[in-house]
Structure 1
Amino acid sequence: MTPVELSRTVLHAVRRAVDEGELSVAVPERVVVAPPRPGGCGDYATNVALQLARPAGQPAQRVAEILRPHLLRTGGIADVVVTGPGFLNISLRSAAPAALVQEIVRCGLRYGHADSLAGQLVRLHAPHEVRALVHLDVLARILRSQGADVRTGCAAPPGFEWGAVLGVRVDVVGGGNAPGGVVVRPVPAPADPLPLGRDAARWALLHPAPHDRPRIGDDHLVQREGNPLFRVRYAHARTRALLRNAADLGFTPEPGPVAGAQPLLQALADHPRVLAAAAAHRAPDRLARHLVAVADAVPPLLPAVLPLGEEKPSAAHRARLALADAAGTVLAGGLSLLGIDAPDHL
C-alpha cells in the first residue's frame, strides 16, 4: 500500500465512522500520512484525529480510538497503535510477492513516488559549498517525487564545473534564505570531489548522514564489494544481464510466488516508505543506504533465475526473473533520484 493509497484508506475510515454515527464532522478532502516521528511506531502515522477533535467535540485520543477499528478492518493494514495526544500509527502488511512485483513493474522508475506533499511549496536554500549544493539538488528531486513544489536557491552561482561535472542546478541565485525556507547545510566536504567524476562524487557526498564528515577518496572508484556504490550498480547490471540472457533462452518475466526471497521482497516493499522518510526528514542518505540494502539482498536470488543445463524454463524461473527485474527497477529509480547513472553493463 502506497502513502497515497493509505491516505485514501484513512479518509474512508473517517467516512465510515461518520456514516455510522460515531463522529459528527465534515469529512476532510485529504489526509496526510508520513513516517512516524520520535515516539511513534509502525510504517506511517497521521494526525487526523487531532484535526477532527475540535469539530467532533471529543478528545483526540477518543477520535483515534473510534477510527482504529475501522482501519484494522482494512486489508493491507496489520496494526494500528494510538500514541501521544492522538496520533494513529499504522503498520502495513507485506504485499504478496506477485502483487508487489506487478506494482513495481506498473510504476517503473516511479515506484514509490506519491502525492502526499501535493500542494506544498518547499523552499530550499544552500550555502555556496559543493556538498550542500548536491544535497540541495537531491532533496529537491526526492521532495518532488512525493508531490511537493520545490524552489531551490543559493547565495552564489554553483560554478561551471559543479554544474557540468556534478549536474547541480538551482532556481534562484543570490539573496538570503526565503522566509519559511529550509537551509540545507550538511558537514562540508573535506576535499574537492570533482576528480571522482559525477557518480562517485555524488555518492561520496550523499551516502553519509548530513551530520557526518564525508570521505573523498579513490575508494569510491574501485570495482569491489567493499565499495557500496559498486555493489548497488553491479546488482542493477546483473538484473539487466539476466533479462538479456533469459530473452536469449526464449522466456520472459512473469510475477509469481518466490521461495526464500523474503529479505529482498521486504526491501522492495519498504521503498515507498523510505522515499517518504527521506523527504520528511530531508535526509538523502536514507535513500542511499536503502539502495545498498536492496543490492545486498539481490545476490542470493541470482543463481536460481536461469535454468541450468537441459532444464526448461518453468513458472518458478519466470517468477524469479520478474523479481530480479523489479529489484533492478528499484535500484535504477533510486539512483536516478540521487542523480547517479545506473548502467546496464558494468
Structure 2
Amino acid sequence: MTPVELSRTVLRAVRSAVEDGELDVVVPSRAVVTPPGPGGSGDYATNIALRLAREAGRPPRDVAEILRARLCRADRVADVLVSGPGFLNVHLADDLATSALVRRIRADGERYGYSEECAGDEPVLLRVPFDVRAEVVADSLVRIIASQGGRVEVAHGEPATLRPVPAAEDPAPLGGDASRWALLHPAGHDRPRITAEHLVQRESNPLFRVRYAHARTCALARAGARLHLVPEPGDTAQTDARPLLRALAEYPHALAHAARHRAPDRLARHLVGTADAFLAVQHTVLPLGDEKPSAAHRARLALAEAAGTVLAGGLSLLGISAPVHL
C-alpha cells in the first residue's frame, strides 16, 4: 500500500465515522501520511485525529480510537496503534504490502508516482532570471509538475517567481548529467558546488550512487535471466528490505512535494535515499554459492526491478540519464 493509497484509506475511515454519527466533522480533502516519528511505530503514521479533534469537540485520542477501529478492518492493514497525543501508527501486512507495491510499479513503469493532483489548476507561471541554474530548475519543474497533471509556462524577466541561488562557476565543464545534478541536488536557497567531485565514481558522490544503483538493477536482471529466474512479486522474507520498500512507497509523495513546493531537490534527495536502501540489500537478490533459487529470490528480483524503474523514472524527470552499464 502506497502512502497515497493509505491516505485514501484514512479518509474513508473518517467518512465512515461521520456517516455513522460517531464524528461530527467535515471530511478533509487530504490526510497526511508520513513515516512514524520518534516514539511512533509501524510503517506509517498520520496526525488526522489531532487535526479533527477541535472540530469534533473531543480529545484527540478519542478521535484516534474511533478511526483506529475502522482502519484495522481495512484491506492490507495488519494493525493500528495510537501513540502520543493521538497519532495513528499503521502496520501494513508485509506480504500483501510488498507484493501490491511491486505489482503497482511494474504495471505503471516509469509513470509510477504520476497523479492528477494538479490537474485543473491554473497553469503555473515560472518567471526566471537569465541564469543557468534557474533555467535548469525550471526545465525540471516542467516535467515534475506535468507528472502531477499540471502545466507550466516559463518566461524570463522580473519580478522573478523562481530564483534559486546562482552557481558561482559555469557548470558546463562537468557535462550534461553531472552539471544538472550539481544544480538540482542542493536546495534552492543553497549555493551549488561546481567541482569535479560530481564526476568521481565513489560512494561520496550521490549522483554516482544513484546511477550505479540503477545499473546494478539492470545487471541483476541480466544475471537472473541467465539463471532462468523470473521476477515475481511476493514476500522477500527480508526485514532489511523495509527501508527500500518504504522509499519506493514514498516516491509518489516525494514527486507531489517536489511539484507543490517547486523543489526538484526533494526528488533528487529521495532518489539518493532509494539508491542507498537498494545498495544495502542488492547482494541478497540472487542465490549465493550452492543456494537454490527460491520464491524469495524471485520476489527480491522483482523488488530490484521496481527499484530500477523508480530510479530511472526519477532521473528522467530531472533530465539525467540512467545508464544500464556503469
For the aligned pair, the TM-score class normalised by the smaller chain equals 0.7 to 0.9
Compared CA separation, residues 309 and 21, structure 1 to 2 (3 A): closer
Equivalent residue pairs, number = 306
> How much does 1:296 deviate?
1.3
- Aligned counterpart in structure 1 of residue 275 of structure 2, from 260, 282, 295: 295
Q: Name the amino acid aligned to 2:106.
A: V
- Aligned counterpart in structure 2 of residue 264 of structure 1, from 229, 244, 260: 244
Structure 2 residue matching 1:189: 3-state secondary structure: coil
Q: Name the amino acid aligned to 2:121.
A: Q
> How much does 1:191 deviate?
1.0
Q: What is the match of residue 9 of structure 1?
A: 9
- Once residues 269 and 116 of structure 1 are traced to their aligned partners in structure 2, the CA distance between those partners, rounded to angstroms, is 17
Render the CA deviation track for 1:113-152: whole Å, top value 9, x for unaligned. Answer: 2223332223222111111121112223222222333332
- Once residues 91 and 266 of structure 1 are traced to their aligned partners in structure 2, the CA distance between those partners, rounded to angstroms, is 15
> How much does 1:335 deviate?
0.8
Listed as ranges, the gaps of 5+ residues in structure 1 are 51-57, 156-174, 178-182
Question: Is 1:241 the counterpart of 2:219 in the alignment?
Answer: yes
Compared CA separation, residues 223 and 195, structure 1 to 2 (3 A): same
> How much does 1:104 deviate?
1.9
> How much does 1:310 deviate?
5.0
Structure 2 residue matching 1:132: 3-state secondary structure: helix
Q: What is the match of residue 230 of structure 1?
A: 208
Listed as ranges, the gaps of 5+ residues in structure 2 are 35-39
Identity of paired residues, percent? 56
Question: Is 1:60 the counterpart of 2:38 in the alignment?
Answer: no
Q: What is the match of residue 139 of structure 1?
A: 141
Q: What is the match of residue 98 of structure 1?
A: 99
Equivalences for residues 81-160 of structure 1 within 5 A: 92-94=90-92, 96-121=97-122, 122-155=124-157
Structure 1 residue matching 2:281: 3-state secondary structure: helix
Aligned 8 A contact 2:3 2:250 in 1: no
Question: Is 1:187 the counterpart of 2:165 in the alignment?
Answer: yes
Q: What is the match of residue 181 of structure 2?
A: 203
Q: CA RMSD in A?
A: 3.4
Question: Is 1:334 the counterpart of 2:287 in the alignment?
Answer: no
Compared CA separation, residues 140 and 327, structure 1 to 2 (3 A): same
Aligned 8 A contact 2:119 2:150 in 1: yes
- Once residues 117 and 33 of structure 1 are traced to their aligned partners in structure 2, the CA distance between those partners, rounded to angstroms, is 17
- Once residues 45 and 142 of structure 2 are traced to their aligned partners in structure 1, the CA distance between those partners, rounded to angstroms, is 23
Q: Name the amino acid aligned to 1:21.
A: G
TM-score norm. by structure 2 comes to 0.79
TM-score norm. by structure 1 comes to 0.75
Q: What is the match of residue 37 of structure 2?
A: none
Question: Is 1:286 the counterpart of 2:266 in the alignment?
Answer: yes
